[in-house]
Amino acid sequence: MIEQRNEEPLLEQEFTVEGGDFIHAGEVSSKIKKILKEIGASQEVVRRAAIATYEAEMNVVCYAKRGDFHLAITPERLEIVIQDEGQGIEDIDLAMKEGFSTASEEIREMGFGAGMGLPNIKKNVDDLLITSVVGEGTKVTMLILTKR
Amino acid sequence: MHCMRVCPTEAIRIREGKALILGDRCIDCGDCIRFCPEHAIRSITGSYEDLSKFKYTVAIPSPSLYAQFGMSISPNHILNGLKGLAFNEAYDTGRACEVYHTVLKEYLHNYSDSKPLISTLCPSIVRLIQIRFPDFMDNLLSLEAPRGIAGLEVKREKSKELGISSKEIGAIYITPCPAKMIAVNQPQCKSETNLDGALAISDIYGLLFSSIRKLKSMENLHRSSGLGIGLAIPGGCITDLEVENALAVDGVKDVTQVLDDLEHGKITNIKYLELWACPGGCVGGPLAVENPYLAKIKVIKLIQLFGKGKKIKDEEVDKFREYLSCDVELPPHPIKPLGRDTVDTIKKIKERDSIIESLPRIDCGACGAPTCKAFAEDVIQGRAEILDCVFKLQDKIVESSQYALSWARRTPLSFRKRGKDKSR
């Protein structure tokens, strides 16, 4: 369970991802990675954040109408919250299983929807919280500790 | 100005009308040389005088040299032409490429990392990875490039044959780019390099051409198949490595994109990445002469002509094995953060971003920086002042003029209504 952070973030940024926009997919995670490299985050943190945010971004592109990314950086941690407007997830535990996917045939043909997105996020973050309302949207909160 | 705009790593600033190169960002790609209309940027190249330092000299041409002339001029013409030029001997680097190709194929066969193995043939790519993608440092191929293998064979063969020490033999690389010129003096793989200098293709081209035309008889110096020549173009012989999912990418921009996508996991399951800083690979080098597209066609024709079956024998390859892994510890060289620690860096990033907000963001370049963002960083790091931006200067002039105008509108005391001078 994610603990509330007790420090004010040093840096906060907002990004928006449009659902279905495969052309620009990956740009937000690329921007986040760039910021982390700029602040001199360790290679490991950059790598984990890059993979986790990319998967989250692809989830928005594949399944939602739109998604708002909120990045907050404190000296100790990296917090990324993604709130999307979309179909939501019916059974979160099932969605966390490797290989489980509700992706359409079209999305699978594009090389996505292998059911590795959420498990891959989980693998790369220190804490993950997913809440979802079917028919409304999903909120993904992920946490990466920068000093371990 | 042209150079500053094309530099893929934003390593150039203009000061006193000249290009200043920020060494910690430069990857030696040579785009600045290629695009300068005044030909003002030159790479530090070797010269013929260097040859006189040695008892015996051998030319080691990049395979891209074979593609610099028309089809009627064969690799053998070129090697004989080199020998007639100022060298005692010319070595067919295609042979060293065959050694390289054979060992690389085996290396890939045993490679099982989830991230791809990255080719180190192009020194600029190695620099780019050191600076921008330090996370891939561990995936760089640890294998001496063909030019180094060639140097080794030349020194071994000739010192034995002539009974002189290998130091008395000058192994001179004929290069299509400044990156390899620099790599001769700052080796990225073997600390003891077997190359003694490099000459630019562009510097010897004219003389070589006339030397080839003067040839009356030829020795048989070309000993390799088309396999080695394939290394002169991206993916030239990549299918012969027999790896699933090997990718050849050229041009710093495209390479950066691919490495970026790999970092995110957008591209996965690639086993081998052959990366080139120059569009078109070595035939597109800034010191090459022939149009890179024509040169590429020639390479393809040469591969067809000489076939892809390697001519070097396995026992000959074995003689190199012990030597081939790198011993130079290449450190990552990421660009330094703006501040001294995370807190300070973030503070400076915010300052920088607020400066960028106040700039016109048209990247005009008059300030001597390639982009408004780069200028804002220069201001933060003390390399420039905010008024070096012509638009900020204009604002300042407007502001000072308004101040001057307020004085100009001051009513002389004799006309002024009591307590009503609003001019100040």
**A59 contacts chain B (CB < 8 A):** no
CA distance B254 to chain A (A): 15
A33 and B265 within 8 Å at the Cβ level: the answer is no
**3-state DSSP assignment of residue B171:** strand
Mutate to test the interface with B, among A7, A11, A42 (most CBs of B within 10 A): A11
Residue of B nearest to A31 (CA): B260
- Residues of chain B contacting A26 with CB distance shorter than 8 Å: 261, 264, 266
List the beta bridge partners of residue B170: B57
Chain A environment of B336 (Cβ under 8 Å): 40
Q: What is the pTM of this model?
A: 0.88
pLDDT one-digit tens code per residue, B33-88: 888 887 777 777 777 778 888 999 999 999 999 999 999 999 999 999 999 998 99
Are B77 and B85 contacting, i.e. CB atoms less than 8 angstroms apart? no
Contact B135 A37 (CB under 8 A): no
Q: Cα–Cα–Cα angle for B1, B7, B13, nearest 5°? A: 50
Q: Nearest chain A Cα to B345, which residue?
A: A39
SS3 B247: strand
CB contact under 8 A, A26 and B261: yes
**Contact between B265 and A38 using a beta-carbon 8 Å cutoff:** no
Residues with Cβ within 8 Å of residue A27, at least 6 apart in sequence: none
- Percent of chain A scoring above 90 in pLDDT: 39
Q: How confident is the model at residue B265 (pLDDT cuts 50, 70, 90)?
A: confident
In this prediction, residue B420 has a pLDDT band, given cuts at 50, 70 and 90, of low
Q: Are B124 and B91 in contact (CB under 8 A)?
A: no
How confident is the model at residue A148, as a pLDDT?
60
Structure tokens at B77: 């013409």
Q: How many CB atoms lie within 10 A of CB B224?
A: 21
Q: Which CATH class is domain A11-145?
A: alpha beta
Mean pLDDT, residues B126-142 taken together: 93
Measured distance CA(B8)–CA(B253) in Å, rounded: 7
Q: What structural domains and CATH numbers belong to chain B?
A: 1-42 (3.30.70.20), 44-107+138-237+281-321 (3.40.50.1780), 340-424 (1.10.15.40)
Residues linked to residue B249 through DSSP beta bridges, in sequence order: B275
Asked if B123 contacts B28 with a C-beta cutoff of 8 angstroms, the reply is yes
In whole angstroms, what is the distance from residue A45 CA to residue A31 CA?
Answer: 15
B338 close to A (CB below 8 A):
yes
pLDDT in tens, B334-360: 888 898 888 899 999 999 999 999 999
User: How many Å apart are CA B310 and CA B307, to the nearest integer?
Assistant: 8
Interchain contact A42–B (C-beta under 8 A)? no
Q: What are the tokens at B207?
A: 């003389």
- CA torsion, ordered A58, A59, A63, A69, to nearest 10 deg: -90
Percent share of chain B, pLDDT over 90? 69
At residue A118, φ and ψ (nearest 5 deg) are -65, -45
pLDDT of residue A3: 66
What is the mean pLDDT of the segment spanning A41-50? 91
- Partner-chain residue, chosen from B265, B342, B347, that has the shortest CB–CB distance to A51: B265
